[in-house]
Amino acid sequence: MKKYLALLLAMVLTLALCACASAQVQQTEPAKQEDAESALPQEQPESEEQEVESSGKMVTVNGFTYDDTAFHAEDAANRTIHVSYGGGSLCTSPMALAYFLGYYEAEGLDVEIISVESDKEALASGKIDATGGFLASWLPAISNGVGFTFTTGIHTGCGSVVVLADSDIQSYQDCVGATIAVSGGFGSGVHNYGMRSVIHEGLSVEDFKWINFDASLGLEVLKKGDAQILVAADQMVQKWIDDGSVRRIHSNTFDEDFKDEPCCVFGLSSAFIENNPICAEKMTRAVYRACLWVDQNDENKYEAVQMLADNYGFNVNPDYAVKLMKLWKFGVSNAQCEMCLENSVDEYVAAGIIDASADLEHLKTVAWKAFDLSSVDAEFAS
């Protein structure tokens, strides 16, 4: 009996030991798995930039690298952006051409081109987000509180000072006290350019009488003697130059001190740029791309004129329109824009267009926003 009990006890102890061993193996097996995994080479944490790229936030579209999540979070990326263009101007046509060429769409933007009576009023009311025109007319408006910031120059040139072909006047110096007629009204880009051209001859705007004339009167304002000098856009006066009726005495297309400055600029509501910085850069790139496309060759210029004819009833003779466009350099560098801004602000103060007490450095800051457009230049470099 004692032997039987001893044998039974031994068997129980043996089974218990086996059960403990089995339990120990089951408990320690996951730990071994962890140890095995920890022994494997671990993927090193990526840099912040790498993490953004791997998560798909950073994308490159048409040479522009940006945070795609931030772009889609902007209000303007989720609505229609309104650009003002009336259809009658070659000067600012790249704003519309960018639409017809699909450049806005390629940037992921929904853009509508609309016509308004007053760009400045439409901008202030929020009816439009972007527009363009003479830098000479926008700078005084900005100094008076209009929230507009230009972001690229559209082209150089496009304004001329002319006299009758048989006039003895060769310069302003020859006719101090004469009457100068300007198109577009007082405070227009043409008027302000005319005053700058007077200052460049070392004279004062007060040395002359200034009148506004209706463009429909054409040459009559000179022929009737109502004025001795006329300041107007090239689109108006070039045909009179071609037929020998008038001749230039000054031009921001050809004069050495003006020919590299942007005449017309593209810009956006200052609030738009602040609230939609990526969309603002995309808009600028699209318009600048259209400028360079126009400048690339005559074929593109003729195509541009046809687009304007098809969509706006633009009825200017194509050969005349292309001749005008060849006078100007479409696509103006940031350096040229900054030079023009510096020159214009100082001279507008001298002309009394901008109040001398204004904070001029602040004005320059709010008037101009530079974006890196080098990748767009590279597209057209070859």
Beta-carbon count within 10 A of 7 CB: 10
Which phi and psi (to 5°) does residue 200 adopt? Answer: -65, -15
- Average the pLDDT over 39-67 and give the result: 59
SS (H, E, C) 256-285: CCCCCCEEEEEEEEHHHHHHCHHHHHHHHH
Q: Three-class SS of residue 182? A: strand
The confidence band for 39, taking pLDDT boundaries of 50, 70 and 90, is very low
pTM score of the predicted model: 0.83
Whole-angstrom Cα distance, residue 324 to residue 235?
7
What value does the mean pLDDT of the chain take? 86
Residues 16-37: pLDDT tens digits? Answer: 433 434 433 333 333 333 333 3
Bridge partners (DSSP) listed for residue 267: 131, 150
Weakest mean pLDDT among 26-40, 76-90, 206-220: 26-40
Please give the Cα distance from 295 to 283 (Å, whole number).
Answer: 19
Q: pLDDT tens digits for 82-118?
A: 999 998 899 999 999 999 999 999 999 999 999 999 9
Which pLDDT does position 88 carry in this prediction? Answer: 85
Rounded percentage of the chain residues whose pLDDT exceeds 70: 85
**For position 56, what pLDDT does the model report?**
54
* Residue 267, both tokens: 């810009």
Closest to 379 measured CA to CA, from 282, 264, 288: 288
**Mean of pLDDT values over 70-83:** 97
pLDDT in tens, 160-182: 999 999 999 999 999 999 999 99
> What confidence score (pLDDT) does residue 49 get?
37
Q: pLDDT tens digits for 226-236? A: 999 999 999 99
Answer yes or no: is pLDDT of 8 > 60.
no
214 confidence band (pLDDT: 50, 70, 90): confident
Q: At what angle do helices 135-143 and 189-199 cross, to 10 degrees?
A: 90
Please report which helix (H) or strand (E) contains residue 296, including its range. helix 277-296
Average the pLDDT over 318-325 and give the result. Answer: 96
Summarize the confidence of residues 361-367 as an average pLDDT.
93
Residue 80 backbone dihedrals phi, psi, to 5 degrees: -80, 130
pLDDT at 10 over 80: no
